[in-house]
A and B are shown apart, each in its own frame.
Chain A
């Protein structure tokens, strides 16, 4: 798609992009630390990914290939809208293939396909402050971050165990980045937490409403908080993906009818369709060009 010349490249003006890039540089320099930035009004409501979009807009070049996923899927409303937004305002290549993308904007998932050096993963973050629910005062949480007072995070996990017998936090599971800052990984399932650890890709987080960006640079340690006698663990499923047969991916439960029939399928539609294509003996270039609806997401 050609770029709409009425817009500056990637919608934001150059000064704004420079401002956000300065904040991002600081964020990369201090992994996990929330850097304030002057979030702009975007042409979509807060909560729909304004933070991620601003980060993507400020790092995008015309050489980039963009992939946008929402809950692991390339063809949900949010993903389609944001992808179309950058096609129109930046004229960049878009793809659904994780390995072909240079910039991936995501909400709620990390792709199943391992990321590589040179790729950038941009997260949309609703609430960047992991201490918020234990300590509502922003002045206090900043002091707690500054002095590394993170005991309250374990109070939350303690409560989980005493109420449920195990750590029941299943998404937005707090992590310790670079052995220094406790960070909210955005609402990704805890299944994805281990993928953040020592990831070769650059991970950037943008919270538009809260006006914060933070980052996990490549090859940075990311530890999920836990107790010695209740170690961190990821979810498992009793059955494999009904479409591609994968047993090592994050599965969505799909209700099929009113009679209680259900199936479990990969939430990562690109990964699932690639596996199905390989199983069918097809080559994988069916994904080149415009995103065709994948079998996995048709069911979704």
Chain B
């Protein structure tokens, strides 16, 4: 854990004295099966935390616990909202949903989970703004155009529904829709899963530049170590619901200590 503050000082450079998100001994049990056991960590502003592990290791469960979508069996999650500390699971649903709409973003592996497929691209980007009370059509549309440009979607597609978009465009649209309110924390669940490698590379490039420019903190769940290597400052390796190893991304990938991490790293085929 001691690595956290050190990274933040290097990574974000804003000298913030407190973590943005802190998890304390999070656990989630389904009957006798543990999906997540005793997970603790701190995430600092501007930091990208990668969570890697095989399918069923509890990565997605952890993400849902952190974002308040699942209630943990034990442990707590704190979010620092300016000077306020929000206990995510003890807070009211209104607070939680308010955070999810404004300060947090959620990028799903399948863009159709995070998009309104029937509504146009412009409406998808504008939805969060309208939820925050913006009532000027022209401004909303200008913001939507601006964001389409930033995620490299042609502006003339603004009135097309995402149903008419390719997988990569949908994923970029989902990112734009989340970032339009300038959140501080984004949860990403396999953002590049299901995309072909060239589209993946472009998307990774985009995410990396947006994250850096907007000083976003990201919890990035992925099974793809290459994605983790590119985006994450710090890595947590999960197995059977436990965090078996965590540290700087390059350290974990180049010099894995835990046998499972070693297995994971050695399983990547080299081209």
Contact = CB atoms under 8 A, between A and B. Distances in A.
Are A and B a genuine interacting pair, yes or no?
Answer: yes
A227 B140 CA distance: 10
A230 B137 contact: yes
B159 A228 contact: no
Given A149-B97, A162-B120, A155 B126 contact: yes
Contacts of B120: 159, 162-163
Contacts of B101: 149
Contacts of A152: 127, 130-131
Contacts of B158: 162
B127 A155 contact: yes
Nearest to B122: A162
Given A147-B93, A147-B94, A158 B130 contact: yes
B201 interface: no
Contacts of B226: none
A152 B116 CA distance: 10
A161 B139 CA distance: 13
A158 B126 contact: yes
Interface string B2-35: 0000000000000000000000000000000000
Nearest to A152: B127
B136 A162 contact: no
B138 A229 contact: yes
A201 to B, nearest CB: 30
B113 to A, nearest CB: 14
A151 B130 contact: yes
Interface string A207-228: 0000000000000000000111
Contact of B136 (A147, A155, A159, A228): A228
A228 B140 CA distance: 11
Nearest to A226: B135
Contact of B131 (A151, A162, A228, A230): A151
A163 B140 CA distance: 15
Given A151-B132, A154-B130, A163 B137 contact: no
Query: Which of B101, B120, B130 counts the most chain A CB atoms within 10 A?
Result: B130
The secondary-structure label for the interface of chain B is: helix
B161 to A, nearest CB: 9
A139 interface: no
Contacts of B123: 155, 158-159, 162
A143 interface: yes
B119 A155 contact: yes
A154 B141 CA distance: 13
A159 B120 CA distance: 7
A25 B10 CA distance: 62
Interface string A228-246: 1110000000000000000
B136 A227 contact: yes
A230 B97 CA distance: 29
Contacts of A155: 116, 119, 123, 126-127, 130
Nearest to A153: B130
B157 interface: no
B128 interface: yes
Interface in B104-145: 116, 119-120, 122-123, 126-128, 130-132, 135-138, 140-141
A147 B132 CA distance: 13
A159 B93 CA distance: 29
B96 to A, nearest CB: 10
Interface string A284-297: 00000000000000
B140 A158 contact: yes
Interface of B: 93-94, 97, 101, 116, 119-120, 122-123, 126-128, 130-132, 135-138, 140-141, 158-159
6 contacts: A134-B116, A147-B94, A155-B116, A155-B123, A227-B137, A229-B136
Given A227-B135, A228-B137, 20 more contacts: A134-B116, A149-B101, A149-B131, A151-B128, A152-B131, A154-B130, A155-B130, A158-B126, A158-B130, A158-B140, A159-B119, A162-B122, A162-B159, A163-B120, A163-B159, A226-B135, A227-B136, A228-B136, A229-B137, A229-B138
Shortest 3 CB-CB distances between A and B: which pairs? Answer: A151-B131, A154-B130, A227-B137
